Amino acid sequence: MNTAIVIDTSREIPDQWYSLYNIYPLGYVIEDSSGQKHIERTQIQSIRTPELIKLVCEDRNSNLLAPSIKDYVELYTYLSETYDSIISLHSSNITPAVFENALVAKKLVSEIDIDIIDSHTFGASSGIFVEELAKFVLEAKNINEIRKEAISLNKHISSIILSKNDQLNTIGLRKGNWQTAFVSSFRPYVLYQELYGRWETVKRGRNIKSFVNEIIKRVEIVNRAKEIKTAYITHHGSLSKNARKIKDIVSHTNIVETSPSLVTHYLLGKNYIDFAFL
């Protein structure tokens, strides 16, 4: 299969993956307080994700805009000149507007076969999902094999997030909430775990040490129960110094330390640890 993969943000995707796996990110757009728009990494490069994150931090009145239907149609049409098919990876649960825009764009492009794959992953676990499915796509014989693999990955990839900013709830992200969240120093830390494609609140409080120990305990249980194939960790802010304690648990496996993604940073604020594993 001569297949291109489209994702809706560069997330935790290393630069070398683009050409290796034929991945084409369609970035988010930041509209700053002056009305100027800044586009995340796309096929025609505009601005790198870390630079976009910095812009969001400095401008509290900025808005995050999802890729539009027009953006998808243009990229799908561009890819149709080179590829026979497209796998477009998005999440109906985490970013419903993005998922729906991709579905509409698919109907408007007839030059190429497009399959929209629904992913439940978020943050660091998105990097695992994209890489593992991209490897599979290179060897896949048909679209049904890819769909089955995506279902399996959604089932087996797990993630735990310790965050200062309460932006998740029990049924996923607060849909449509693209405003920058105001992070108060009085807000508690929240520990989340992804279960069956949903984010569940595990604990709340202001004791960082107890939360890190809780993550360590949960990862140790998983590590004893099964072999962890790959572990991704993203950390930012005051929690970065605690990341090594978690990495030490799975030091024998493949650990990928990633840069904070646009979505993770924007929705979770400046202080978080995001640990995901397959």
State the DSSP code for 177: -
Share of the chain above pLDDT 70, in %: 90
Cα separations in angstroms, 139 against 143, 145, 235: 11, 10, 33
Share of the chain above pLDDT 90, in %: 31
Confidence of residue 183 (pLDDT cuts 50, 70, 90): very low
Rounded distance, CA 245 to CA 247, Å?
6
Give me the helix-helix angle, 69-79 and 96-108, nearest 10°: 50
Mean pLDDT over 194-212 rounds to 81
pTM of the complete model: 0.87
**Mean pLDDT, the chain, whole residue set:** 84
Confidence of residue 180 (pLDDT cuts 50, 70, 90): very low
User: Nearest-5° angle of CA 150, CA 151, CA 153?
Assistant: 65
Lowest mean pLDDT across 43-47, 97-101, 214-218: 43-47
Beta strands per DSSP E along the chain: 3-7, 23-25, 29-31, 37-39, 63-65, 85-90, 113-118, 158-163, 168-169, 172-173, 189-195, 198-205, 230-236, 254-257, 272-277
**What does the pLDDT look like over 256-269, one tens digit per residue?**
888 888 877 777 77
More confident residue, 15 or 79: 79
Contact yes or no for 9/262 (Cβ under 8 A) = yes
Q: Residue 44's pLDDT is what?
A: 58
Confidence of residue 181 (pLDDT cuts 50, 70, 90): very low
**Residue 211: is it exposed, middle or buried by C-beta count within 10 angstroms (0-12/13-18/19+)?**
buried
More confident residue, 263 or 98: 98
Q: Round the CA-based radius of gyration of the chain to a whole number and report it.
A: 18
> Residue 216: helix, strand or coil by DSSP?
helix
Contact yes or no for 239/269 (Cβ under 8 A) = no
Rounded distance, CA 262 to CA 235, Å?
13
Q: Residue 170's pLDDT is what?
A: 45
Whether 63 shows a pLDDT value over 70: the answer reads yes
Whether 129 shows a pLDDT value over 90: the answer reads yes
Beta bridge mates, 167: none
> Residue 85: helix, strand or coil by DSSP?
strand
Cα separations in angstroms, 204 against 158, 216, 246, 278: 20, 16, 19, 26
- Residue ranges and CATH numbers for the domains of the chain are 3-155 (3.40.50.10170), 158-277 (3.30.1180.10)
